[in-house]
Each structure stands twice: as C-alpha cells, then as structure tokens.
Structure 1
Amino acid sequence: MKLTPAVSSLLLAALVTACQSSDKSEKSMADFRLITLDPGHFHAALVQKTMYEGVDSTVHVYAPDGPDVQLHLDKIEGYNTRADNPTQWKEDVYKGADFLDKMLADKQGNVVVMAGNNRLKTDYIQKTVGAGFNVLADKPMVISASNFDKLKESFATAEKNKVLLYDIMTERYEISTMLQRAFSRQPEVFGTLEKGTPEKPAVTKESVHHFYKNVSGSILTRPAWFMDVEQQGEGIVDVTTHLVDLVQWECFPEQAIDYQKDISLTSARRWTTDMSLSQFKAITKQNAFPDYLKKDVVKDSILRVYSNGEINYTLRGVHAKVSVTWAYKAPEGAGDTHYSIMRGTNANLIIRQGAEQKYKPTLYIEPVAGSKDIAGALKTVLPKIQQEFPGVEVKKIASGWEVVIPEKYKEGHEAHFGRVAQKYIDYLKAGKMPAWEVPNMIAKYYTTTQALELAKKSKGERAKE
C-alpha cells in the first residue's frame, strides 16, 4: 500500500516521538545523575570508589584544565580497571575557565559532588543550590568566619529550592567511634556524661594526619595549593570539622544544636608544620614553591603551614577539646591516628590508636573510682550492643575491658566515603534529612570558624610544636 505524504509525515512524527520517549525513559531509570565540580582533592574520587543503585553510571565533570582534574580522572580509571570488583563509571568531561557557569547552564545532573580547593567552595555551594542542584560537599564547607553567613544562607536556599545540602562526615562510620557512641548510651555501664572542666574536658578528640600518605595503593600526589591555608584552610577549620561533628553526634545524638545558645568558646590556638623543599617536591611533584606559597617560606627553603590547631569549648555546658596535628610522614607501619575519650560517671570510653594497638583504633571501657559493678552491667548491656553490631565482644584487661571488634567491621577510611554517599542517596530518595542534621552542620562550622578567629587573636599561639 502506497502511503500519502501526509500519512508518511504522521508516521515519521510518531516514530520520532516514540524514540524520544524511549530515550527519556532510559534516562529516567537512574533517579540521580552525578556532577563532579572542580575536583582538586582525592576525596572527590573516593565517592566513586563504588557504584550505587539508582545512580547513573555517567558522571559529568566540570573543571578548569590542569593537573587536578587529570589526577581525579586517573583515580576513576583506576577504579574502573581494578581486578577486584571494578566500577563502570563513564566520565563526560568539560574543561574550561567558564566551568561553573557551563555546569549551571547545562544541568546535566541533579547531584553535585564538591571536593577540592576550599577558597571558593562556599561560593560554589551558594550558586549551585541557588540553581536547584543537590550538593554533597567534602569538608570543610567554609574556612573563614567572614563566609559563615553565606553558608548559613545556602542552607536556607536549599530548603526553599527543595534540594539537600550535605557534607561528607566519614568518621561517623569508623567502627570504634560507632561503638563508643553506642556504649555511651548505656547508662548501666557509662553512667552519665561528665560536665568536665577546661583542664579536664569531658570529651577530648585528637587527630594526627600526614602529608605523605598512601591512598588506593599509591603515594598520594597533593596539589601545591593544599599547603596554602588561604586555599585549603587552616587545620583548625579543616580536619577539626570531623572532630567537632563527632562531639555533637556522640554527646547529643539526634538532637538539634543551636549554635547561638549551646556553644561557648573557651580558648583556641594554632601552630605550623615545617616542610623542606625536598619534602614538598615528594608530595607535589613540583620543583619549586609557587609564588602564592612564598609568603609562608622562611630561610628560602622551609615552608611553614598552619595545619595544626586546638579548640576548647563548651557544648550545652559540657567541656570539650578537639585538636589536629599534621606531621609530614607517619612512622613505619603507622598512618593517620585518632585518640578519643568520653568521661562518664561510671566508666570512661577511650579510643587509642598507638603502637600498643598496632596503630589500629581500639576501644576500651575503663571504670572510674567508686564506679558500680561494670562487669555485671556489661553482661546486661552487651546483648543490646550485639543487636546492632553482631559479633562484638568485650575482653577483661588490667585497666578494664577491651572491646573486641570483628574484622568485618574494619573497613578503612576509604570505604567510609561510600557509606556517606549511600546515606545521602537514601536522604535524597526520602526527599529530606533528619531534622537535626542542618542545624548541627551550621553549629559545627560556627565552632570551627569562630575558633580560628579566636586563635589568631591568641597570644599563646606557637610557631611549631
């Protein structure tokens, strides 16, 4: 049968519509499409170390041309080509000076991942949530008190635009910390949280990090700007973000913190880590200090980085101290380490990660003077803990008890990025986060940025520890 031109046109139009509908259907099978914005930190790649159900395998990358974006793409390629459980990411890359405007105009995805140079991150966040994108941002979201209000406004904008703004708090997924929190919620063992004093805080968290480190099987190449506190942020507003978050998360679980009423800074201080030019070359692959770092170079060859800091403050009347120290390289067999104590009226919960623990975080339950029957309480409490963490046991030692943690829970820091990303995807699917998350992010960044202001004014600041 011969078709008239009119009928042929109608059939062709119907076929095109059907194809477009099919394409649209295929695209909509993935609820979430990732965009990576200006990746300059290896944390951006770690978000993609695993695949996620409901997330499109094509990721759109927008960045200025240069070594940072290439290092990111090389890490993704490494995940795609590894022998064990390779990923299947496809990176669609745009490189250009107008990368931010291009991303906002293209709207190729609905979830923007940010992990890189922190100097502009708060601006990136503000513009991205303002354009209606969800944002998963590496810490810190803000590195100065002058930009704190901008971040606070971004959370209000996100709520107005019905998108979720969330930061990557990996330390909540470290098993010894999770168990410290779990045992602190068992009054038969822990008692109640002490109030403490500035000299003897109720909660202390100390973190030691290293510039020279192994990530995903190779020595990490850091961008030179990572050592510039005007771009990366000082240590007191960077790694301490995790520690302040854990203080809130453990001491007042699932409770909203009001930064204007609940937080009072007592003292803060900062000091530098010194780095030789040869050490700088080893981690950046650059032969000289760039011009923007020369302001921090003394004696022509020693770079001084304000990567260390300590904050003493009260949270709802509870005295807390958090501190971060950056060394150049860890001792043989060691890595980044964490120390934490929560002081209870009945027992202290202590995480140690030194040579005695073979540099593995280990949780201890240590009775305080005059404490009640901890042994009997543990028999009652342990089944409750095991409901959430099957296989966890306790072992009697001279100072109290060591919490014995099965190997299956010891995933390592890199795996925690997948945990955070999955939690965020769950929030996206639900269309909301728990009510306490946003006020507690605001409270956390208020604490760190105000502490930096206080430390800069402090006469007790030290050049090197």
Structure 2
Amino acid sequence: MKYNRYILGAGMLMAACNNPAPKDEQQEMVHLITLAPGHFHAALVQKSTTPGIDSVVNVYAPEGPELDAHMALIDQYNSRPDNPTHWKEEVYKGADFLEKMTAGKKGSVVVIAGNNHDKTKYIGTAVQAGMNVLADKPMAITTEDFESLKTSFSAAAEKKVLLYDIMTERSEITNILQKELIHQPSVFGELKEGTVDKPTIEIESIHHFYKMVSGKPLRRPAWFFDPSQQGDANVDVNTHLVDLAQWMLFDTTALNYESDIKLTKAEKWRTPLTLAQFSTITGAAAFPDFMKPFVKKDTIVEVAANGTLHYAVKGINVRASALWNFEAPQGGGDSHYAIARGTKANIVIRQGKDENWKPEIYVEPVTADAGFEQALQAAIQQLGGKYPGITLEKQDKRWKIQIPENLKTGHEAHFAEVLQRYMQFLKAGKVPDWEVSNMIAKYYVTTAGQAMAKEK
C-alpha cells in the first residue's frame, strides 16, 4: 500500500475547490453528521474542504459550552481570510440528541469525538442504525468497552457499514520514513525480538494540557481530567503509539489479538495540577465533584495522565509510553521519541530542544560495516521516488534525513488526510480486513493493559 499518497494529497485537500458539486453528482456526495462534539478533533475533521463531502453538516448534541466551542471553531474556519471553508451547520440541541440522530439519519458518516465514557455506546448505536462511523481515538477505554466494540465491528460487517478510527500519526512523514526504513534489510538488518527492558520498538509521546489549537489557547472541558470519562494515558494517547508499532512492524498483516499479542506489564502514574492551572485550562473556578477523589489539600489535583505498556506482537517486544505535563518548555510543544532497533542500525525519531521541537529522523548504525553508507544512500535514493526531496546529512556517527517542507504537513492537516483515506474506504464499500483485525488488537492492548496497570 502506498502511504505516500496521503502526504502528497494533503496540499490538494487544503486547496480544494469550495464550489458545490453538479446536480448529477449530488447522490455521490458524503454527508457528515457530528455527534456530541466534546473534543476539538471533531472540528479538525472540517478544517479543510474535502472534495466529495457536502458542505451541509448535521450536528446533534446537548446544549452547553462544548457545542459552543465546536461551533466557534467551525465559524473560525469559515471566516478565515485564506482558503476559508463554507460549512453550513444544521444543529439539533437537546437531551434526546442520540435518538434524533438515529431517527433522522440526515447523513452518511457519523463523526464522533468527545467524552469517552459514552463513546463506545454512541458507536454501537450508530452502527446498529446502519450508519457509517468515523471515530476519534480512543474507541474504548475499559475492558467492557472492548467487548462492546468487538460487537460493533461484527454488526458493521453484517450491516455493510464502515467503522474506523482517526489515526493521524500514520500521516506524519517521520513515522512514514521510519516504517519504510525498518523494511530495508540493507540498512536496518533484521528485527531483534528485544526484551522488556530493551524492546525492539520503543515509543514515547509527551503532551501538554495547556496548548494552542488553530492559533488560539485550547479550552478543555473539566471531564477531560477524569479517567472514567476521558480514560488515562494507557487507553488514550497510547492508542496512537500501539497503532504505530503494529503498522510499522507488520503493515497490512492482520493480527489476532488472542494469539499474536502478549501483555507483559503496565504502569501508570499521575501529573499534579494546581487549582490555578486547572482553572486556566478549563475556566472552572473550583474542582468539580467528580474530581474530588483525586484532589489533595484542596489545591492540587492528581491527574491520571501517564502510562506505559510493555507487550509483544508476534514475539517482538514493544514499549509505549504517554506522558502529560501542564505546559511545554519555553518555545517547545508536544514531543515524540521513537526508536526501532535493528541488527545493522537503529532508526530514531527525536523531537526535543536540539530539533527545535520539530520531529526529525536519524539513522544510527550499530555495526562498523564499510558498505553501510553506500547501502543507506541507495535506500534514500530509492525512497526519494516516493517522497521527493529527501536527502541525507552526515552527523558524526549518524545520518539525519533531511525532509522538504512540503512533506511536513503538520498534525492539524493530518485530519484531512485521514478523511481522504476514509473516503477511499467508502468508495470501496469496506474497511480492509487487516485494518479491522488490527483495530481490535490495538484496543485489546490498551484496555487489557490498563486493567493490569500498577500505580507508580
């Protein structure tokens, strides 16, 4: 499968025409429904105009600040001076929003991004109603959710509708190149099985509660900090990391969670926030009652925000870690570290101060092979046919892959690329079987791992 088409298609999506489709194409248009948008990812799906998607979007949600924040982002996209969108949001507000959505079916794809406590139920309800679903991660945060999600996948196959989650990290160019290089034996060598202490694939993602989205400070709902509503890091951010590990290692090979996955251990720990910090992020003057079990001395809340999963996929050891701090270092942002260990070289992504907080990818040989540089140059030249403009820069004992700016599309643009992928699935009439199997395997790792996690 040629993953570079998602990268190369991003510019086309961002500059797409805003004119309505001709009448003879109206039947082919995809009509979006947004269900209970409580996370800004629901709006990022609409940050760009995507060919084939109707400009009218039906929104079903309860009244409140979360819906208001969602509509404000859509208004921001519609009114920006450069490449404005032209969405027309038709909103139903009421406590019976879920029933109204399934009864009306005023759309062909339901986008779900919000409170994770009810997300698995929303997914199941939409699928049972015969509606396609594109859901933000995570689609499950408990082992009970996992069992419900499996039922929804079976129902989706029976009703011939699509159920898929939004995996933006597969569209990040450094992740794509890391995946490509570990399948270049002349450069990477062979996969090591690794150990729990030194796994073959090790990924760490650091996020921040206070951040900017679409140029403005992000206001998070108070429930975001409640693990029963948001889920903690092992079932939230680690969803992306587990997905990346599976995708990098096995590409389109279908995984069986019962026979191919072995969980070893899991850990979790907390991030303290002062009341002032909590108020800055949420706008709340006090900690809500549902956060009281995590409040210490009335002024500190300990957020269940960090976690590590240790597991093996077909015998290959993986460690996935997600951490949250209040805010990034001066001039910094979210960061990502990933290492794939091979018998000839390690392929490493770093995103720290030395990289100006931008992800960069390095090739670090582990053997003194005289022909290594020649093999690496040949591999980069070959990959340059798929990713034009990439080059090598020698840095002491390692090589940095220089990536042209047009391939660095950015996190927010990745949502349009996921939507493009989903549109291809809609055209084909199904999500590939391997994607379904590997989504089930992924959510088994996160939910079963969280169930076994010990507090540090």
Q: TM-score range by the shorter chain?
A: over 0.9
**1:43: which partner in 2?**
41
Q: Find the partner of 2:134 among 133, 136, 139.
A: 136
SS class of match (2:326): strand
TM-aligned CA deviation for residue 29 of structure 1: 4.1
2:298 maps to 1:300: yes
Report if the CA contact (8 A) 1:29-1:54 is conserved.
no
Q: What are the Cα deviations for residues 101-145 of structure 1, in whole angstroms up to 9, with x where unaligned?
A: 000001100100000000000000011011000000000000001
The residue aligned with 1:17 is: none
Structure 2 residue runs without a partner (length 5+): 1-21
Pairs within 5 Å for 1:17-416 = 28-371=26-369, 373-416=371-414
Q: Which residue matches 1:451?
A: 449
Alignment partner, residue 422 of structure 2: 424
- How does the TM-score come out when normalised to structure 1? 0.92
2:228 match: secondary structure: helix
Equivalence for 1:9 = none
In 1, Cα distance between equivalents of 2:254 and 2:195 = 23
Distance in 1 (CA, whole Å) between partners of 2:81 and 2:451 is 48
Q: Which amino acid aligns with 1:113?
A: V
Query: What fraction of aligned residue pairs are identical, expressed as a percent?
Result: 52
For 1:209, the aligned partner's letter is H
Q: 1:440 to 1:372 in 2, by over 3 A?
A: farther
Q: Which of 432, 435, 438 in structure 2 is aligned with 1:434?
A: 432
Q: Deviations over 1:360-409 (max 9, x none)?
A: 11100010135462111023212220111010011111121100000111
- Partner Cα separation in structure 1 for residue 26 and residue 150 of structure 2: 32
- Return the letter of the residue paired with 1:384: Q
CA distance in 1, matches of 2:250, 2:25: 42
Which whole-Å CA distance do the structure 2 matches of 1:379 and 1:364 have between them? 13
Aligned residues: 435
User: Quick check: which has more Rg, 1 or 2?
Assistant: 1
What secondary structure sits across from 1:330 in the alignment? Answer: coil
- Equivalent residue of 1:65, what SS? coil
Contact 1:309 1:323 in 2 (8 A): yes
Per the alignment, residue 9 of structure 2 pairs with none
Partners of 1:28 and 1:126 in 2: CA distance: 28
Distance 2:324 2:35 in 1: 27
Name the structure 2 match of 1:12. Answer: none
Structure 1 distance, partners of 2:257, 2:81, is 47
Cα pair 1:203 1:341 within 8 Å, conserved? yes
CA contact (8 A) 1:346 1:372 kept: no
The whole-number CA distance in structure 2 between the counterparts of 1:162 and 1:29 is 19
What SS class does the counterpart of residue 229 from structure 2 fall into? helix
CA distance in 2 between counterparts of 1:26 and 1:435 reads 32
Q: Which digits, 9 at most, give the CA deviation of each residue in 1:234-280, with x for residues without a partner?
A: 11100000000000000111110110001101110000011111001
Contact 1:229 1:306 survives alignment (8 Å): yes
Give how far 1:293 is off.
1.2
8 Å CA contact 1:30–1:56 kept in 2: the answer is no
| Alignment check: 8 A CA contact 2:377 2:392 kept | no
When the two chains are superposed, the root-mean-square deviation of aligned CA atoms in Å is 1.2
Deviation digits for residues 289-341 of structure 1 (CA, Å, limit 9, x no counterpart): 11111121111111111110001111100011000000000011111100000
Q: Deviations over 1:27-55 (max 9, x none)?
A: 83452100000000000000000111111
SS in 2 for 1:364: strand
Give the partner amino acid of 2:92. Answer: Y
Counterparts of 1:363 and 1:35, CA distance in 2: 38
Question: Structure 1 residue 184: deviation in Å?
Answer: 1.1
CA contact 1:62–1:93 (8 Å) conserved in 2: yes
Conservation of the 8 A alpha-carbon contact between 1:136 and 1:167:
yes
In 2: Cα distance, 1:92 partner to 1:296 partner:
39
SS where residue 312 of structure 2 aligns?
Answer: strand
CA distance in 2, matches of 1:247, 1:217: 31
- 1:136-179 CA-partner distances (Å, limit 9, x unpaired): 00000000012211100100100111111000000001111111
Residue ranges of structure 1 left out of the alignment (5+ in a row): 1-23
Task: Return 154-163 or 361-370, whichever deviates more.
Answer: 361-370
The alpha-carbon distance between structure 1 residues 448 and 261, as it changes in their structure 2 partners (threshold 3 A), is same
TM-score (norm 2): 0.94
Corresponding letter in the other structure for 1:74:
A
- After superposition, give the CA deviation of every residue in 1:217-248 in whole Å (9 maximum; x if it has no partner): 00000001001111001111000000000000
Kept in 2: contact 1:262–1:315 (CA 8 A): yes
Give the secondary structure class of the aligned counterpart of 2:234. Answer: helix
Alpha-carbon distance in 1 for matches of 2:220, 2:200: 36
Q: Which amino acid aligns with 1:438?
A: V
Conserved in 1, the CA contact under 8 Å of 2:201 and 2:341?
yes
Secondary structure of 2:364's match? strand
The aligned amino acid for 1:212 is Y
